[in-house]
Structure 1
Amino acid sequence: MTAWELALLALAGVACGWINVLAGGGSLLTVPTMVFLGLPGPVANGTNRIAIIAQNIVAVGSFRAQGFADFRLSATLAAAASVGAFAGAMVGVRLDGAWFDRVLALTMIGVLILMATGRDRPAPPPDASPQARNLVLGHVLMVGAGFWGGFIQIGVGFLMMPILYRTMGLDLVRVNMHKVFIALVFSVVALAVFAARTEIAWTAGAALAAGNALGGLLGARATVREGAPLIKKVFYAAVAAMAVKLLFF
């Protein structure tokens, strides 16, 4: 890839990291950007995992530095999700060409609807607490979330949040604490599958990862209030345009 393409990916990574902190769904920008730059679908899908890993390393470290860590529960949930992620990635590496574009576009539209209607943020359980409940059911459901994460990654946070929040009854801080650890671990598994089965654009992934890590750090340190509605509107318009392009052109 040329220098300007790598710079564009780094900027997309900054936006992705920022949006993931602001509202979620940042991979809606990075995966289509790589596809538009000429990377085949499975290559873009696998390469995106490098950026997700870098971003979540920063996030896990940030939570731990602020005194939020429960690595025992995070590890068992991550193990369950990794089983699903392995299976999902095995399906993802086989999805190529026009079918990948269609699945990607429909996923983008679905996630946009969730974000626009507010259904990506489940209502809190009446007794949310630091202690998890329904451990068996939570781990079983996490296998399914891991499958989607391994398959395409986009929107997987919207699956993990209800499991951790509604089913397991955790408070929102610990939901995010566990979510970034789980995504970090199963993304490593998914990346290993993609690397073994298809090509990974490592240079592009490094540029994207640097941007994602920086965007996540900036987003974590910033308080976005009045600017959030405008950013979301621009984000929705851009992603909708990408979905139309993938489906019809």
Structure 2
Amino acid sequence: MELTWEIPLLIAAGFAAGFINTMAGGGSLITLSTLIFIGLPADIANGTNRIAIMFQTATAVGGFKSKGVTTFPYSIYFGITALVGAILGAQLATDIRGDLFDRILAIIMIMVVLIVVFKPKMATSEAIERLSGKHLAISIIVFFFIGIYGGFINVGIGFFMMLLLSRFNKLSLVKSNATKVTVAFIYTIAAVVVFALNDKIEYLIGIIMAVGNSLGAWFASRWSVKKGDGVIKVFLLIMVIAISIKLWFF
């Protein structure tokens, strides 16, 4: 595929998605829509998007680490089980679901909005983190299923990880974000391999978009640590509402 005017569009869409994904989630709606807009079939767009996500999450991990934010080794535990799930999910991802899937996802997004609005008290840096015993075991199991969804399509998965980590494990939103991008990086590696083996990736397009994703992720990861939980919560709420409307009506 010969690229001209598509290059700045891919980088701009990647930057927006990288920023949004690192701050909250849902940025893949932008990149998938852009990839399909420039002419990629939906299944190829789904696979190609994983190249950008892999670079984006790797950069975000580095950004959080540069600010001293990490949840090692728990993020690795969660990432490994999510990786196993992602292999299964990616194998199922021969194409992207249609209108019914979009509406189901929209309902899930609305549920997240209701939780954020009516139970707004999130974990703070002073909260007692729950990363051992039954809480660790349950989270490891849940991340396996999160990995299945992440391998299949990945759209909006950041919301679910943030919700689990902040409300169940009682991590601050900043730590939840750092954990989220680490887990996503680990399972995306598996998804890329599966899509590559099935010839579902346009590598040049994916790498160009990855430039934008990486820049957006680096900026968002460092900026979110500086601004703290408050700005992440506002951004999370805005993006959930916007994506719900988009999925239901468009």
Q: Which deviates more from structure 2 when the two are superposed, residues 121-130 or residues 154-163?
A: 121-130
* Change in CA separation of 1:75 and 1:214 when aligned onto 2, cut-off 3 Å: same
Q: What is the rounded CA distance, in whole Å, between the counterparts of 2:145 and 2:167 in structure 1?
A: 16
1:124-177 residue CA offsets vs partner (Å, 9 max, x unmatched): 259833451411111001111111100100011122122222222323222112
1:152 and 2:153 matched: yes
AA in 1 matched with 2:161: M
1:45-90 residue CA offsets vs partner (Å, 9 max, x unmatched): 1111111111111111112111222332111110111111111111
Q: What is the rounded CA distance, in whole Å, between the counterparts of 2:210 and 2:168 in structure 1?
A: 32
Q: What is the rounded CA distance, in whole Å, between the counterparts of 1:186 and 1:12 in structure 2?
A: 22
Partner of 2:81: 80
What TM-score do the two structures reach when normalised by structure 1? Answer: 0.80
Conserved? CA contact 1:128–1:165, under 8 Å: no
Secondary structure of 1:29's aligned partner:
helix
- Structure 1 gaps of 5+ residues are none
AA in 2 matched with 1:51: A
- Write the mapping of 1:162-201 to structure 2, written as runs, cut at 5 A: 162-201=163-202
Secondary structure of 1:3's aligned partner:
coil
Secondary structure of 2:70's aligned partner:
coil
- Write the mapping of 1:119-134 to structure 2, written as runs, cut at 5 A: 119=116, 123-124=121-122, 128-130=127-129, 132-133=131-132, 134=135
Shift of 1:242: 7.6
Partner of 1:33: 34
Compute the RMSD of aligned alpha carbons: 3.1
Q: What is the rounded CA distance, in whole Å, between the counterparts of 2:127 and 2:183 in structure 1?
A: 20
Partner of 1:102: 99
Partner of 2:13: 12
Q: What is the rounded CA distance, in whole Å, between the counterparts of 2:107 and 2:59 in structure 1?
A: 28
- Structure 2 gaps of 5+ residues are none
AA in 2 matched with 1:124: M
Q: Which deviates more from structure 2 when the two are superposed, residues 34-43 or residues 82-91?
A: 34-43
What TM-score do the two structures reach when normalised by structure 2? Answer: 0.80
* Change in CA separation of 1:139 and 1:12 when aligned onto 2, cut-off 3 Å: same
Partner of 1:90: 91
Partner of 2:48: 47
AA in 1 matched with 2:88: A
Q: What is the rounded CA distance, in whole Å, between the counterparts of 1:198 and 1:132 in structure 2?
A: 39
Shift of 1:39: 0.9
Q: What is the rounded CA distance, in whole Å, between the counterparts of 1:132 and 1:31 in structure 2?
A: 34
Q: What is the rounded CA distance, in whole Å, between the counterparts of 2:101 and 2:6 in structure 1?
A: 21
* Change in CA separation of 1:199 and 1:66 when aligned onto 2, cut-off 3 Å: same
Secondary structure of 1:71's aligned partner:
coil
Partner of 1:113: 110
Partner of 2:242: 236
Shift of 1:110: 4.1
Q: What is the rounded CA distance, in whole Å, between the counterparts of 1:242 and 1:168 in structure 2?
A: 29
Partner of 1:70: 71
Task: Tell me the number of residue pairs that the alignment of Structure 1 and Structure 2 aligns.
Answer: 236
